[in-house]
């Protein structure tokens, strides 16, 4: 095995180039457009994102979680509050995430703050989960910690599966719930025959229009918007035409 094994592994980037005029003023509206494109393209699990948190000793960790809703206030995902990520977020609410939509030659990344959802929203979402997922939430109270073997996990699952009748409502464990990533700073890169190389676009929020920053040969340069920075901001990086 050597490095040359991968030297010929490359995709032609032939997507439409990303330019300022294509962007919605509010990053969440733009996210909705891109998410819809990713979803309708047929790529697997478009709502899967790699989520990075920073642990108590400043060490970052990344894992996949599923996006389970978004609106103008942000993005939400659900987890076990006692998991490693749950505990990391109690100490340090900052996260970074990437949606790796490679089949459509796009990635969307963000940096933001994750805040715990309230009981009402958690209960409402928990009720929509299939019974098996609800039982799993009970069986994985110790998510992130070591279990002796798979049989032990299965034993736990059966124990909780037997605890409620088939028609009985399973309550949400208090250690299970969601986070909303809000006050985020967004960026996106797209493979394509791009005239604008390694520039960036920022947007300070609704009504303020995206602003081109950095070195960009193919996009207009505009002054930074004045005034208060709104919660959601753009920072769109243009991928160089090729990485090889």
Q: Which residues bind ligand FMN (CB under 6 A)?
A: 45, 48, 61, 63-66, 77-80, 83-85, 143-144
How open is the CA angle 236-48-65, to the nearest 5 degrees? Answer: 110
Name the minimum Å distance from CB 126 to ligand FMN.
13
Give the residue among 90, 34, 91 at the shortest CA–CA distance from 67. 34
Name the minimum Å distance from CB 69 to ligand FMN.
12
Name the minimum Å distance from CB 51 to ligand FMN.
8
Contact 210, 25 (CB under 8 A): yes
Give the residue among 35, 45, 84 at the shortest CA–CA distance from 63. 84
Nearer to ligand FMN, 29 or 45 (CB): 45
Name the minimum Å distance from CB 89 to ligand FMN.
9
Nearer to ligand FMN, 64 or 217 (CB): 64
Nearer to ligand FMN, 4 or 146 (CB): 146
Nearer to ligand FMN, 65 or 111 (CB): 65
Nearer to ligand FMN, 66 or 229 (CB): 66
Name the minimum Å distance from CB 144 to ligand FMN.
3
Name the minimum Å distance from CB 147 to ligand FMN.
12
CA distance 99 to 97: 7
Report the sign of the C-alpha dihedral through residues 79, 63, 183, 83, in that order.
positive
Sorted by sequence, the CB contacts under 8 Å of residue 166 that are 6+ apart come out as 131
Nearer to ligand FMN, 84 or 213 (CB): 84
């Amino acid at each position: 095995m050597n490095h040359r094994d991968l030297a010929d592994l490359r995709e032609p980037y032939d997507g439409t180039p990303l330019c300022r005029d294509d962007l919605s003023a509010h990053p969440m509206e733009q996210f909705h457009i891109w998410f819809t494109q990713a979803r309708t393209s047929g790529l697997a699990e478009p709502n899967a994102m790699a989520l990075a948190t920073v642990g108590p000793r400043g060490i970052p960790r990344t894992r996949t979680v599923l996006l389970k809703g978004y609106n103008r206030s942000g993005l939400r995902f659900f987890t076990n509050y006692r998991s490693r990520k749950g505990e990391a977020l109690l100490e340090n609410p900052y996260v970074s995430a990437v949606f790796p939509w490679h089949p459509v030659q796009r990635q969307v990344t963000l940096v933001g703050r994750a805040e715990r959802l309230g009981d009402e929203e958690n209960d409402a979402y928990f009720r929509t989960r299939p019974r098996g997922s609800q039982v799993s939430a009970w069986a994985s109270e110790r998510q992130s910690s070591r279990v002796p073997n798979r049989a032990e996990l299965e034993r736990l699952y059966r124990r909780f599966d037997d605890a409620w009748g088939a028609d009985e409502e399973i309550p949400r464990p208090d250690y299970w719930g969601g986070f909303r990533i809000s006050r985020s700073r967004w960026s996106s890169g797209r493979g394509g025959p791009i005239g604008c190389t390694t520039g960036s676009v920022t947007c300070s929020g609704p009504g303020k229009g995206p602003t081109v920053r950095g070195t960009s040969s193919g996009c207009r340069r505009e002054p930074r918007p004045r005034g208060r920075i709104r919660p959601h901001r753009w920072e769109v990086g243009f991928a160089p035409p090729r990485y090889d």
